[in-house]
A and B are shown apart, each in its own frame.
Chain A
Amino acid sequence: MSLIDAQDVWYSYGRDVMALNGVTMKIEREETIALIGQNGGGKTTLAKQFNGLLKPTRGQVLVKGVDTRKVPPNRLALTVGYVFQNPSHQIFSSKVWDEVAFGPKNAGLDPQEISERTKWAIEAVGLSGLEQTHPYDLDYGKMKLLTIASIMSIKPEVYCLDEPTTGQDHQGRRRVAELIRNLNGGGATVIVITHDMRFVAEVAERIVLVAGGNIVADGPTREIFEKTETLAAAQIRPPQITQLARALADCGIRPDLMTIKEMADSIGDKIREGTGRNNGLA
């Protein structure tokens, strides 16, 4: 049984417009998935089906085998945690600590467990020392980290993160990437909505490309980054390193490299072979 099983999901916000047109996909335990695609294409609408924030107009979504229509959203939230794109849609407490403690408190955990989880989550996102700060006094990047912490304290099995790197600088981006790797390493399934392809290459094993309410590509990150035309139709460019790899394919570089380290190793090897053969490069 898949962790999440979306079967022919249709969704309409009103009468005229279908935001999802019969989407079918399965999510297995401990996957890291990037939902990518243009705004308005259906990424967020799809992700909100996974934790029952939205229920299919037609078709069904099973979370651990149970139809999302048959479980109240607050119960589902213990399994699938959703971090909104806009932190102000989520934050309502006047202190960082209270914001993070709310989830476990609401789940009825005992005070010591609440306190331990709150401390753990605040530390994990790098907000220690700011426990008594008002969330709106944090900068946008830190506010987004706070919303992640407030879901971590619930310890859900699945995280849906809606654009966690928007408004983050490079340190914030690195912190989010590290956080996702740690959560995934601890057994969590992570679904991340993002426009940042360098970030996708770092954190996601699988890409699901959503456009016009349909899944137009679904597969391992490396394979999807090779579908240049499909990506271009969605105005997405693979990471700069992958673009370089493709341009160097006839020099013997694998065209599907994604990270700086992979590329450095690959070119390094070629240079070593080259110097052995013709003693000189230029």
Chain B
Amino acid sequence: MPHDDVTVQVDGLTYAYLGHSPVLRDINLRVLKGEMLGIIGPNGAGKSTLCKALNGLVPHFYGGTYGGTVTVAGMNVMDHTVADLSLKIGLVFQEPTNQFSGVSTRVDEEVAFGMSMMGFPRDEMLSRIRESLRQVGLEGLEDRSPFELSGGQQQRLAIATVLAVRPEIIVMDEPTAQLDPVGKTEVLETMRALNKEGYTIIVAEHEIEELATFADRIVTISEGRIILEGSTRDVLTRVPELKRIGVDPPSVTELSQLLAAKADLKPDKYPVTLDEAVTLYRNLLGGAA
């Protein structure tokens, strides 16, 4: 792969919070421009910490013991402040209200907050507010209170506040974990649309059946280490390894492993999405196409 296309590069990252044993151990990772990368693994595996290491909160905010190198859009994270890095890489938290300033009484003010801290001119701010609210589908709600919004709307607002700064890379730490199905769908669709617009997206996510439909690549983390890494298909079809780590593969993939012997299926033929499964089993059972 041409080096120019790598936008996030993690080399030998080992990290421990102050007074604790390492939560990340020798992480090596490359993310290409425009890629959608899923990070999966059990709670406590280090997913959140890895997300924070990409935008510099680790180590700049948390301190601790840090080894290795993280380079984001050509910047070594160690040599730049979190504010500098935020121009290139934005982080969306699991709980949207943790992202809000808490001082804005209107949706548009909340989007403006980060920019006003950075001293953007007013006209530029107004146009960016419009643009980022459009990107997340919140146009028309400018004068609402952030705290009156539904869960899915709050999370999309959190994404808009990150977009306003126009980063190239967006990192999301379990952005749908606290949402109902409507909210989950809204946020996943927003993610998909942003990726289509060219943003690089890195997302820690438990919704594997959803991830299977749109992630380009997946890494699995367990006890601070990357265990599996590859294309979405390569990773999700490794059913026994996923279960050993404590991750459920998509139902249709797990089904196919159970049927492997009877149906003479090799793992590389396992479906990872519903559509793939329908096609495969219709063929197998002799149904009309």
Contact = CB atoms under 8 A, between A and B. Distances in A.
Interface of A: 38-40, 139-141, 166-172, 195, 198, 235-237, 239-241, 243-244, 247-248, 250-253, 260-261, 263-264, 267-268, 270-272, 274, 281-282
Of A169, A195, A267, chain B has the most CB atoms within 10 Å of the CB of A169
Nearest to B45: A169
A241 B263 CA distance: 17
Given A169-B247, A240-B252, A264-B255, 17 more contacts: A38-B181, A38-B182, A39-B183, A139-B44, A166-B178, A169-B42, A169-B206, A170-B248, A172-B43, A244-B278, A247-B274, A248-B282, A250-B287, A261-B258, A264-B258, A267-B285, A268-B259
B42 A241 contact: no
B282 A251 contact: yes
Contacts of B263: 267, 271, 281
Contacts of B181: 38, 195, 235-237
B274 A248 contact: no
A272 B264 CA distance: 12
A166 B259 contact: no
A260 B255 contact: yes
Contacts, number: 110
Interface string B254-289: 110011001110000000001001100111111110
Contacts of A263: 255
Nearest to A174: B248
Ranked 3 nearest A-B pairs via Cβ: A251-B287, A251-B285, A264-B258
Given A170-B246, A244-B277, A244-B278, A260 B285 contact: no
Contacts of A241: 251-252, 255
A251 B274 contact: no
Nearest to A253: B285
The DSSP consensus for interface residues of chain A is helix
B38 interface: no
27 contacts: A38-B182, A140-B43, A167-B43, A169-B41, A169-B42, A169-B206, A169-B247, A170-B248, A198-B251, A235-B182, A240-B252, A240-B274, A241-B252, A241-B255, A244-B255, A244-B277, A244-B278, A248-B282, A253-B285, A263-B255, A267-B259, A268-B262, A271-B259, A271-B285, A281-B286, A282-B283, A282-B284
Contacts of A268: 259, 262
A248 B278 contact: yes
The DSSP consensus for interface residues of chain B is helix
Interface string B39-50: 001111000000
A67 to B, nearest CB: 32
A214 to B, nearest CB: 18
B206 A195 contact: no
Given A167-B178, A248-B278, A251-B281, A39 B151 contact: yes
B177 interface: yes
B116 interface: no
Nearest to B250: A240
Interface in B180-194: 180-185
Contacts of B151: 39
Contacts of A166: 177-178
Of A139, A140, A264, A268, chain B has the most CB atoms within 10 Å of the CB of A264
B209 interface: yes
A210 to B, nearest CB: 12
